[in-house]
Amino acid sequence: MSEIGIHVYTHEFSPKRGGIASYCHEFARAAAELGYTVRLYSPKNARHGDYNPNYKLLPGRAAGNHSLAAILQTRNLLKETLQKYPNDLHVLAEPGPIIAYGSLNQKLTTTARCHIILHGSEIKKWQEFGLKTLAAQRALRQADAICTVSAPIRALAESTFPQLCHKLRAVPNALPANYQSILPPARAPSTTLNILSVGRIHPRKGFDQIIHALAKLPAATRRQIHYTIAGGSKDTNYLNRLKSHAADLSIQLEVKLDLSDAQLDACYRAADLFALTSISYKNSVEGFGIVYLEAGAYALACVAYDSGGVSDAVRHDQTGLLIPTGDIEQLAQAILRLFEDPELRIQLGQQNREFALQRTWQDVVSETIAPLA
């Protein structure tokens, strides 16, 4: 085991199925596999999904949000751990701990090495004036290194915080470990097309964009296309709007909510094409899009908007097709192209699988914890 421990702090963790929750689990698991003693400090309702976790999960007293009470709880935790483990690396993987860290006395923040992870949306939020913004910007100045989950998000951070460019580096995400061993189904050219989207059912995911693109296709083509959305939803208004739009536009839409791993696996295996057209919504942006790599594990080509950090997850004309954000006409043409050319669709899917398997979370950990040059 390494003599240096790694401490990961987050206000988002399982059972919540979000990108940051997945990031923290994969990062902690990979760091433990590399021989580090890993402690993951999570919100009070957190639980471990694995039967044999190889890192220590430490649910605290903080709620899984960014309320003042939750931030103060994490602030107290950081005061304790930074003093107790001054020789270890402390990874602030989520906005709540970053704000808490920025509220600490400067003398305390120099006692241990801290690396910050930026996913994208928080950068936009921290352009607005407020106490949380001031604390977050102070944390960025005090951190030893700042890692972004993709190169486009690094560019966004550089333009927002130009004085911190020397601390910034892009460390793209990787395919989750439990997808590495998946054997994809054998796919053959077909006259029908099953399109799959996976993600939280929220306006930022852009499911409506795909519905409107499908509506632009010839009626005979639409009848041969089935669109499935798999995810979780608390926004019933948006979900009902999606269903209503699909019905009005004669789109064959099926929505599957809160699936088990086995049910989600079946969705991927039944699909011919993966599509997720994330957009910037208010202050929220797609920082990377691990789900595109998960689709690659099943040898599925991807159709996506070139939004946020997605271009690091989908390579245009190599693993799928990237469309200018909001261009419904081009999106429709991309879907039509892959419907009419199943051999191209299968080829892009195979290349997406190769791309997804190129990088591991051990790579992510090694690049994140490395000292700045």
pLDDT, position 51: 58
Q: What is the rounded end-to-end Cα distance, in angstroms, of the chain?
A: 25
Q: Domains in the chain, please, with CATH?
A: 5-174+360-369 (3.40.50.2000), 181-356 (3.40.50.2000)
Place of tokens 């409107």: 212
Say what the pLDDT of residue 18 is: 79
Give the span between the Cα atoms of 183 and 111, in whole angstroms. 47
Rounded to 10 degrees, the C-alpha dihedral 246/252/256/261 comes to -140
Question: pTM of whole model > 0.75?
Answer: yes
Q: How far is CA 148 from the centre of its chain?
A: 12
pLDDT in tens, the chain (373 residues): 457 899 999 999 988 777 899 999 999 999 999 999 999 999 998 887 765 679 999 999 888 889 999 999 999 999 999 999 999 999 999 999 999 999 998 777 777 899 999 999 999 899 887 889 999 999 999 999 999 999 999 999 999 999 999 999 999 999 999 999 999 999 888 889 999 999 989 899 999 999 999 999 999 999 999 999 999 877 789 999 999 999 999 999 999 998 999 999 999 999 999 999 999 888 889 999 999 999 999 999 999 999 999 999 999 999 999 999 999 999 999 999 999 999 999 999 999 999 999 999 999 999 999 886 6
* Residues 309 and 288 sit within 8 Å (Cβ to Cβ): yes
State the pLDDT at residue 148: 98
CA angle at 92 for the pair 278 and 314, rounded to the nearest 5°: 25
What pLDDT does residue 373 have? 60
Q: What is the pLDDT of residue 235?
A: 74
- The pLDDT assigned to 312 comes to 97
Give me the pLDDT at residue 372, please: 66
Q: What is the DSSP letter of 89?
A: E
Give me the pLDDT at residue 2, please.
57
